[in-house]
Structure 1
């Protein structure tokens, strides 16, 4: 088998880990190419084209690439181009694992795994073997789909807020208390408490903390005052 056929690419912004993987995989006979992470972000398409030109059989991909951001959007086009993507991540959120698998990743390996386990996974994927059982894959993808549905429901609830309620929720997200919000909005504390009660009712939660948590997990931002 030629070195091109045994080529592995590594895209990870953790230099020490990437270097360790390069050395270990090289010892096991792989032609390893480390791909520099774009320093100032950039378009996913540009990164995809650069990776495809390398023609690796397996790509070890970190989900979080510093200034480039979330690498998940590059998985589907890489999979479509025939690259076998192994996500190597320190991300504990299994919903994000499920999204990566839904986009076409072969498997997800935690960065806490032993080096020999990562090498074994690369070898199995390179040889065309299944790494995740169908049940494991289905469970992780289902976790992601549940997250999507949850966020969609959250967005519907958040859209019910009036402009004033949205502003109050935005101030709660900044850690302000009712008294501070009343002073900021030049209204009575009773008015703010009434608005907070309406927020909790519309969002279907029982506390200000729960309302703020819901807004954060939906990446919601209050409207900018006109």
Structure 2
């Protein structure tokens, strides 16, 4: 049975970029672009009409920028994950995208294969932080959040929840975590829900930072963001 295409909504004000994305995120690679926008104004309406699995969103656009659009979607409570795609590697800008609720970011200079992997990862419930700038951005993200909570907070988690959180921090998607731990994907989703509730984490990006800050990510894991 053929796997369904990953449905992508592209939001970028540059026609040249949208044309390039059409070539990278096409059906032969397992994607279908269900809509294109050149501003963040109509993103919420497009999500309701088109039901995308992932949104690929530029940061700097006229009228409504990508961060504002992402924040609006996050407040709705049922938005698809947002991958911020930008030419700007400004740490505060990218950290702002994570704070707004983006599930990941990728620089526009990254290889096409990285974009495809990032969209697949987000569609499967994962997070994607471009390794070229992830370490710096996570540092900036930490600086803009409330002070660290007590170190024993991680003890609220069961051993299995700690295992799951460590793999979230390493950048694995829900299906990859399920395969790694020999669990059903539904079980992994339940563990992640419990983790977010116990640790008062808003989203996957916050979980990644928590995992690094509490030493749950194994040093040297090739999937972890460099310098985090």
Alignment RMSD (CA, Å) = 2.6
Moved over 6 A (4+): none
Matched positions, count: 137
d(CA) in 1 for partners of 2:127, 2:23 = 25
Query: 1:52 deviation in Å?
Result: 3.2
Provide the secondary structure at the position in 1 that maps to 2:105: strand
Query: 1:140 deviation in Å?
Result: 3.6
d(CA) in 2 for partners of 1:29, 1:113 = 19
Asked if residue 91 in structure 1 is aligned to residue 92 in structure 2, the reply is: no
**1:5-36 CA-partner distances (Å, limit 9, x unpaired):** x2011111222221121222112121213423
Any unmatched runs of 5+ in structure 2?
A: 147-228
Alignment counterpart, residue 73 of structure 2, candidates 74, 78, 82? 78
Distance change (3 Å), C-alpha of 1:143 and 1:12? farther
Query: 1:98 deviation in Å?
Result: 0.6
Query: 1:138 deviation in Å?
Result: 4.3
Alignment counterpart, residue 122 of structure 1, candidates 119, 124, 127? 119
Structure 1 or 2: more helix by fraction: 1
Contact 1:52 1:81 in 2 (8 A): no
* Corresponding residue of 1:30: 31
* Corresponding residue of 1:54: 50
Higher relative contact order (CA 8 A, sep 6+): 2
d(CA) in 1 for partners of 2:107, 2:144 = 17
Contact 1:87 1:107 in 2 (8 A): yes
Query: 1:121 deviation in Å?
Result: 0.7
* Corresponding residue of 1:20: 20
d(CA) in 2 for partners of 1:47, 1:117 = 24
**1:28-87 CA-partner distances (Å, limit 9, x unpaired):** 12121342325xxxx84x43222332111100000011x325221111232333210000
d(CA) in 2 for partners of 1:60, 1:69 = 15
Contact 2:58 2:84 in 1 (8 A): yes
* Corresponding residue of 2:107: 110
Asked which structure has the greater CA Rg, the reply is 1
d(CA) in 1 for partners of 2:85, 2:144 = 18
Any unmatched runs of 5+ in structure 1?
A: 147-226
Distance change (3 Å), C-alpha of 1:108 and 1:143? farther
d(CA) in 2 for partners of 1:123, 1:115 = 13
